[in-house]
Amino acid sequence: MHNLKFLLFPLLLIVSQLVWAAPVKILPLGDSITDGADYNPPFSSYRDELYDFLTDAGYSFEFVGTRSSDYNNIILNHDGVPSIRTDQILNGGLQQAPLNTKLTHYDIDIVLLHVGTNDIIQGLNDANYSDATTLAYIENIIDELQNKNPNVSILVAKVIPIYYNNTTDDESTNLNALIETTWAENNSTDTSKVIVVDQNTNFYLNDYSDAGVHPDQSGEDKMAQKWFETLVTQPILADQLLINPNLTLSAPQSTLTETNFTISTVSDSNGTITYASTTQDICTVNNTTVSPLMAGICTLTAEQEAGGIYTADTDTLNVIIIPKADQTITVTVSTSKQTAKLNTSFTISAVSSSGLTVFSFTSVTPKICMVNRNTVTTLAAGDCNLITTQAGDANYNSATSPIKTVTIIKNEQTLTFTTPNNAKVGSEFSIDAKASSALTVKIVSKTPNVCSVVANKTKPLTEGTCTLLASQAGNASFKPQTKEKAIMITKPEEKAGSISPIWLLLLSFIRLFQRRQLKTTD
């Protein structure tokens, strides 16, 4: 059956001038026989096989309509509705919009009209049914189609036989007798031809899947064949459908940077072909020579002009991938044990597996440390987190190192304070205490019963050991520090020949006693 596609070629060749056109819009319009897929149980539609016929023959076309079905992952649109009559197609019914409303959703160039089956079946038990009325609705449908496109070509089918309930009587005979050549001519215009397609002849009961109404696969194939035969033998198609030249672009799957390569094409047409790159930053094209500029994805297109019986065509090569390599970065710092003191500097360096040598160093903890080129300056205690990046080049991707952590520690400080080694009770001496950090030092007595400290002056209170504690609490830059010092406290020395206060007190009592004795004697 596919050999029927070759009927088109002699017809096309007699046309003196063919110009490229957009795909021809073909509307399959009818009932469940047109729909197929939505009927329960579903069955194939002639649209599937007709799609293959037209595609294999190289036609540029598309089916249109407000409904659709899937055929080998291809969406085939149509306007076939199960159980619908001609009046419902025209005026709306079965939850369908009127035909003139549907026609606002798509354009039409050719219509395949197979209608009237449901009118006949539903009219079998209706005394008011008239084939003439059905024909009138068909004529009104034709009017709406011509109003949509005054140049539309309408192929009207003599409907396939209706062997209702598997009888041997064809119920479509009377309606089909009205659909004949003269009637088609009367409904044609100067620019819109109505053509009768005899879908009835050579269609038998064994071409049906159920009840003598819906075709099986053999019936669908017959319908597709008759639509196709009529399409390719009508002069109206000669200037509408052009053959696709099957332009195919070829190139290597991959290549190295800075290595030119050649592309080529195969086509049925002799039309002029031009080549281009849609990724100019990745690759350029001069005639058939491609020059890669850098690693990435190079996308190439070939465009062929229309010529003779062939359409214009374009092919895009699936991508040529010239991959960049990854790189890893190893970071080292000049400070030992991954620590550094506050308010100091150290250097950072890196090496890459790519051999590239330009790096960028950054601190992600700018309050702890800052980086200037490859010198890191510590600002506060804590974790100094550093990252290193390498921008990459034409062959290598950019890379970022893992975080490098250097712990910034506070500085040590020392305390010194000067005191006498010993002191006497009742004396007082000053304390000279200093910190290497220049921070203020606090002095307290750890033996307040022996000595006291007020305003950096120490006053011995009694004999014993006076222990003084110097402390500095530290700050953001220095650790805290303490220091103790012990001072011996002794009694003051007595002067030579002097009488101690105790003896003076005893002598006073003796003298008082003597006076009282003298008074008693008298």
Band (pLDDT 50/70/90 cuts) for residue 396 is: confident
Say which CATH topology domain 415-490 has: Immunoglobulin-like (2.60.40)
Q: Which of 226, 209, 218 is nearest to 32 (CA)?
A: 209
What's residue 419's pLDDT? 87
DSSP 345-376: EEEEEEEETT-----EEEES-TTTEEEETTEE
Average pLDDT over residues 204-233: 85
What's residue 503's pLDDT? 67
Distances 199 to 157, 162, 168, 219 between C-alpha atoms, Å: 6, 12, 17, 10
Lowest mean pLDDT among 115-119, 362-366, 489-493: 489-493
CA distance 160 to 176: 9
Average pLDDT over residues 162-182: 86
What's residue 59's pLDDT? 77
Q: What are phi and psi of 44, to 5 degrees?
A: -70, 155
Q: Would you say residue 85 has pLDDT above 50?
A: yes
What's residue 15's pLDDT? 32
Band (pLDDT 50/70/90 cuts) for residue 4 is: very low
What's residue 18's pLDDT? 37
- For 16-63, the pLDDT digits (tens) are 233 344 688 999 999 999 998 655 556 678 999 999 998 887 777 899
Q: Taking all residues of the chain, what is their mean pLDDT, rounded to a whole number?
A: 86
What's residue 9's pLDDT? 36
Average pLDDT over residues 447-456: 92
Average pLDDT over residues 483-488: 94
Q: Which of 74, 171, 61, 179 is nearest to 124 (CA)?
A: 171
Angle at which helix 217-233 crosses helix 46-56, to 10 degrees, equals 40
Band (pLDDT 50/70/90 cuts) for residue 498 is: low
Contact 291, 260 (CB under 8 A): yes
CA distance 390 to 329: 8
Lowest mean pLDDT among 41-45, 221-225, 380-384: 41-45
User: Which distant-in-sequence residues (6+ apart) come within 8 Å of 510 by Cβ?
Assistant: none
Phi-psi region of 129 (alpha: psi -120 to 50; beta: other; left: phi over 0): beta
Between 462 and 207, residue with greater pLDDT: 462
Strands (DSSP E) contained in 240-398 are: 248-250, 261-262, 264-266, 273-277, 283-286, 289-292, 296-298, 300-304, 313-316, 320-322, 329-333, 339-341, 345-352, 360-363, 369-372, 375-378, 382-390
Instruction: Please tell me if the domain spanning 329-409 has the same topology as the one spanning 415-490.
Output: yes
Between 102 and 40, residue with greater pLDDT: 102
Q: How far is CA 225 from the centre of its chain?
A: 46
Band (pLDDT 50/70/90 cuts) for residue 442 is: very high
Please give the CATH number for the structural domain made up of 2-237: 3.40.50.1110
Q: For the CA atoms of 501, 505, 510, 511, what is the dihedral angle to 10 degrees?
A: 90
Predicted TM-score (pTM) of this structure: 0.46
Q: Would you say residue 1 has pLDDT above 70?
A: no
Spans of all domains in the chain: 2-237, 248-322, 329-409, 415-490
- The CATH architecture of the domain made up of 248-322 is Sandwich (2.60)
CA-based R_g, the chain, Å: 54
Q: Would you say residue 147 has pLDDT above 50?
A: yes
Band (pLDDT 50/70/90 cuts) for residue 154 is: very high
What's residue 176's pLDDT? 94
Q: Would you say residue 342 has pLDDT above 80?
A: yes
The class that CATH gives domain 329-409 is mainly beta
